């Protein structure tokens, strides 16, 4: 579908990349990777036709349609979210307007037997047929399902786009691209403003999309789940791997190891040849030999190794002092803005050493809850901190607190204590500050660079309770690995807000989920939490989803749809009954154990076994209560 022939982009400081030759075929799912500044976004702009290359040509199939999502979307529209998408397909809009016009004509005219009247009937028939072929009769339903999949509620569909933040406008733009079903979809960091459920929905949509997809993303799991081919921009060249990201990374690491060995050998050969040249160039009978060596050196292509491997860095957040057994207690905590209640009646105690992921759709109150804990916001209830608790807080706007008069190195140097000071430059390198970058003033850094520096500074600040609000924004995949490793080694307590599933996977032992204005606690890992969440959501979405669209195309009756709904109701009701029975059984077991534990000798091995069994039952009860709660809720919605 698209062929890039000898493409190059030349900047004042030299070539960004050159001699790029690559073919993109229908059905290709491609991850575009490379270091920050390598030219990934530039290459997408070339393919989209936004910019032109300095050299070379880009060949595209005639009539090829491309949907392009940029990071810097500007939507200036007073239309509602729904109307913005509804008017986005010029062909369907044009047909719709013509159908409306003809229908009005047919109602008002009385010359039923005239040729012009009959012509209108023929045209109306043709237009309805074309409208049907282009899925026009399913258009509005498709828009609604896509917007809901990306996190918009039913009420928000009719709200003006001008009322939404930039992140929500990005979702609307992404939805517009998806519903129009282009031949090629180009996505520049599509997960940046999506919540964890919307990312999973987008993955499933892209996997079933039959066109080509090229995406830039720092979300490793997203790349692995969506792509099957990886293009890597490295040292001004484009490397093509027919694998998803994780497998590509393994092969790339092996290749870099081979290149490193070859480079050392080449440098050794160069040194030897240079010594021979210096030795013989002034001797008359050896001058020709020296000249031939010089020409050979000039013609030899120098091996370059773009080695960004930072896996050897082992960083830990320094612990200040050991706090008491509990570090945080919330009593009847709630927060409202006017009539909008974000959450209410939160009662929970956080024990020392708990690792918590705070999850929920955007706008549900995650940041507000963190700000309440930090006394930066007033709300209902009481928030108490435990003995010797020392909190370090990373806010989404943390970069604004940096001293702009200082250099990058000075910012981290003033925070670092002890042995970690020896590795300051290495740590800065892990957060993409290398070479002369460390001497730059904060005042000239970009927003993304300042955010990375603020996170690096926090990593060096002693604490025993970390609160992190979206710390992985603006980090590349390797920097996220460094941060994740540091958090895994952290001996204190932390609460982290993130939509990056790869980052959260294996990192936390609790999930807090803000849903229905409540804080629900889960003891699953992130993968199981998402699996259960999607299993409970999908049966309801599927009634109005792609499967339903296909049913309408093939003429499946509403009777069969009602039958499907009835089947889902029975399935959910059976699950509710099973959960209720299981909950009753577990509660009886726990009651019996409580009686035994009254007179228990806690020093014996038998006591330890009983306590472990008791904890396991409590966990199972929590899980069953969650299943019962969410299944009951979904059953009610279905009814």
The phi-psi region of residue 225 (left if phi > 0; otherwise alpha if psi is between -120 and 50; otherwise beta) is: alpha
- Angle at the Cα of 298 (from 293 to 301), degrees rounded to 5? 115
Residue 124 has pLDDT above 50, yes or no: yes
Instruction: Determine which helix (DSSP H) or strand (DSSP E) holds 417, and give its type and residue range.
Output: none
Residue 488 has pLDDT above 50, yes or no: yes
- Provide, rounded to the nearest whole percent, the portion of the chain with pLDDT above 90: 28
Residue 584 has pLDDT above 70, yes or no: yes
Q: Which residues contact 99 (CB under 8 A, 6 or more apart)?
A: 124, 127, 128, 131
Using CA atoms, how far apart are residues 322 and 492, in angstroms rounded to an integer? 8
Burial 353-376 (b: 16+ CB within 10 A, else e): ebbbbbbbbbbbbbbbbbbbbeee
Using CA atoms, how far apart are residues 188 and 622, in angstroms rounded to an integer? 40
Query: Is the distance from CB of 277 to CB of 290 less than 8 angstroms?
Result: yes
What pLDDT, in 10s, does the model give residues 232-280? Answer: 998 888 989 988 988 888 888 787 778 778 878 878 888 877 877 777 7
Query: Is the distance from CB of 186 to CB of 60 less than 8 angstroms?
Result: no
More confident residue, 482 or 189: 189
What pLDDT, in 10s, does the model give residues 310-337? Answer: 444 556 677 778 888 899 999 999 999 8
Angstrom distances, CA of residue 329 to CA of 350, 387, 495, 512? 6, 12, 13, 14
Using CA atoms, how far apart are residues 253 and 243, in angstroms rounded to an integer? 14
Q: What is the mean pLDDT of residues 610-628?
A: 76
Contacts of range 450-454, beta carbons closer than 8 Å, 24 or more positions apart: 450/399, 450/400, 450/402, 451/398, 451/399, 452/479, 453/399, 453/402, 453/408, 453/411, 453/412, 454/394, 454/398, 454/399, 454/401, 454/402
Q: What's the pLDDT at 535? A: 66
Confidence class for position 307, pLDDT limits 50, 70, 90: low
- Here the tokens at position 172 are 């609307």
CATH class of the domain comprising 326-523: alpha beta
- Which parts of 145-220 are beta strand (E)? 184-188, 212-216
Using CA atoms, how far apart are residues 538 and 544, in angstroms rounded to an integer? 10
Q: Which residues pair with 67 in a beta bridge?
A: 185
> What angle in degrees, to the nearest 10, is found between the helix axes of 166-179 and 139-149?
140
Burial 452-485 (b: 16+ CB within 10 A, else e): bbbbbbbbbbebbbbbbbbbbbbbbbbbbbbbbb
Q: What is the mean pLDDT of residues 75-96?
A: 88
Residue 45 has pLDDT above 90, yes or no: yes
Closest CA relative to residue 239, chosen from 68, 61, 430, 38 = 38
**How much is the pTM?**
0.69
Q: Which residues pair with 359 in a beta bridge?
A: 513
What pLDDT, in 10s, does the model give residues 389-422? Answer: 999 999 888 888 889 999 999 988 888 776 777 7
Q: What is the mean pLDDT of residues 125-150?
A: 87
Most confident of 20-24, 283-287, 299-303: 20-24
Using CA atoms, how far apart are residues 209 and 65, in angstroms rounded to an integer? 14
Angstrom distances, CA of residue 78 to CA of 48, 81, 104, 164, 187? 26, 9, 28, 11, 25
How many CB atoms are located within 10 Å of the residue 6 CB?
A: 12
Query: Is the distance from CB of 209 to CB of 185 less than 8 angstroms?
Result: yes
Query: 3-state class of 71 per DSSP?
Result: coil
- The residue whose two tokens read 């036709």 is 49
Q: What's the pLDDT at 540? A: 46
More confident residue, 615 or 160: 160
Angstrom distances, CA of residue 480 to CA of 34, 257, 310, 470, 501? 15, 23, 11, 11, 12
SS3 content of the chain, % helix, strand, coil (to 5): 50, 20, 30
Q: Which residues contact 201 (CB under 8 A, 6 or more apart)?
A: 149, 150
Q: Which residues contact 370 (CB under 8 A, 6 or more apart)?
A: 358, 393, 395, 467, 469, 495, 497
More confident residue, 529 or 27: 27
The structural domains of the chain, with segments of one domain joined by +, span 257-299, 326-523, 533-638
Query: Is the distance from CB of 431 to CB of 453 less than 8 angstroms?
Result: yes
Query: How long, in residues, is the chain?
Result: 639
> What angle in degrees, to the nearest 10, is found between the helix axes of 139-149 and 526-543?
160
CA 14 to chain centre: 33
Angstrom distances, CA of residue 230 to CA of 40, 119, 204, 212, 530? 12, 54, 19, 13, 26
Q: What is the mean pLDDT of residues 114-128?
A: 87
Lowest mean pLDDT among 150-164, 171-185, 579-593: 579-593
Q: What's the pLDDT at 553? A: 46
């Amino acid at each position: 579908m698209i062929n890039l022939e000898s493409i190059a982009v030349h900047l004042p400081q030299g070539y960004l990349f050159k001699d790029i030759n690559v073919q993109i075929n229908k059905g290709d799912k491609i991850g575009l990777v490379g270091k920050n500044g390598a030219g990934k976004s530039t290459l997408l702009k070339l393919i989209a036709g936004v910019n032109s290359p300095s050299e070379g040509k880009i060949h595209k199939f005639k009539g090829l349609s491309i949907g392009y999502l940029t990071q810097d979307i500007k939507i200036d529209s007073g239309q509602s979210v729904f109307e913005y998408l509804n008017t986005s397909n010029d062909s369907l809009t044009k047909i719709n307007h013509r159908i409306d016009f003809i229908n009005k004509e047919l109602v008002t005219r009385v010359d039923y037997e005239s040729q012009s009247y009959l012509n209108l009937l023929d045209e109306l028939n043709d237009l309805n047929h074309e409208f049907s072929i282009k899925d026009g009769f399913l258009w509005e339903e498709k828009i609604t399902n896509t917007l809901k999949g990306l996190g918009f509620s039913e009420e928000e569909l009719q709200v003006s786009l001008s009322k939404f933040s930039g992140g929500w406008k990005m979702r609307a733009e992404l939805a517009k691209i998806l519903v129009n079903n282009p031949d090629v979809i180009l996505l520049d960091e599509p997960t940046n403003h999506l919540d964890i459920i919307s990312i999973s929905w987008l993955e499933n949509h892209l996997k079933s999309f039959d066109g080509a997809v090229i995406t830039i993303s720092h979300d490793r799991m997203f790349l692995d789940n969506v792509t099957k081919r990886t293009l890597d921009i490295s040292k001004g060249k484009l490397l093509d791997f027919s694998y998803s990201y994780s497998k590509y990374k393994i092969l790339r690491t092996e290749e870099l190891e081979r290149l490193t060995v070859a480079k050392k050998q080449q440098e050794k050969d160069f040194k030897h040849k240079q010594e021979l040249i210096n030795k013989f160039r002034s001797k008359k009978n050896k001058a020709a030999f020296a000249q031939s060596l010089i020409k050979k050196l000039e013609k030899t292509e120098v091996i370059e190794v773009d080695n960004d491997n930072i896996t050897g860095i082992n960083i830990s957040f320094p612990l200040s002092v050991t706090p008491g057994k509990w570090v945080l207690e919330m009593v009847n905590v709630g927060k409202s803005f006017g009539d909008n209640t974000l959450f209410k009646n939160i009662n929970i105690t956080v024990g020392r050493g708990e690792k918590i992921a705070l999850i929920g759709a955007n706008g549900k109150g995650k940041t507000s809850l963190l700000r309440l804990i930090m006394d930066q916001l007033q709300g209902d209830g009481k928030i108490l901190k435990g003995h010797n608790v020392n909190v370090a807080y990373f806010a989404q706007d943390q970069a604004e607190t940096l001293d702009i008069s200082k250099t990058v190195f000075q910012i981290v140097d003033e925070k670092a204590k002890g042995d970690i000071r020896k590795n300051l430059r290495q740590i800065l390198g892990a957060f993409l500050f290398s070479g002369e970058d460390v001497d730059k003033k904060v005042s000239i850094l970009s927003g993304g660079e300042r955010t990375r520096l603020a996170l690096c500074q926090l990593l060096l600040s002693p604490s025993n309770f970390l609160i992190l609000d979206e710390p992985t924004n603006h980090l590349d995949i390797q920097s996220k690995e460094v941060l994740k490793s540091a958090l895994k080694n952290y001996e204190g307590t932390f609460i982290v807000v993130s939509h990056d599933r790869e980052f959260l996977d294996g990192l936390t032992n609790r999930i807090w989920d803000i849903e229905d204005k409540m804080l629900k606690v889960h003891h699953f890992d992130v993968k199981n939490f998402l699996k259960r969440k999607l299993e409970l959501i999908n049966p309801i979405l599927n009634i109005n989803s792609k499967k339903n669209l296909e049913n309408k195309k093939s003429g499946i009756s509403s009777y069969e749809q009602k039958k499907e709904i009835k089947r889902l109701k029975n399935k959910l009701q059976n699950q509710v009954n099973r959960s209720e029975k299981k909950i009753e059984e577990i509660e009886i077991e726990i009651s019996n154990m409580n009686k035994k534990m009254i007179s228990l000798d806690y020093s014996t091995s038998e006591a330890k076994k009983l306590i472990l069994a008791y904890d396991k039952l409590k966990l199972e009860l929590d899980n069953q209560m969650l299943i019962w709660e969410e299944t009951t809720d979904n059953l009610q919605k279905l009814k």
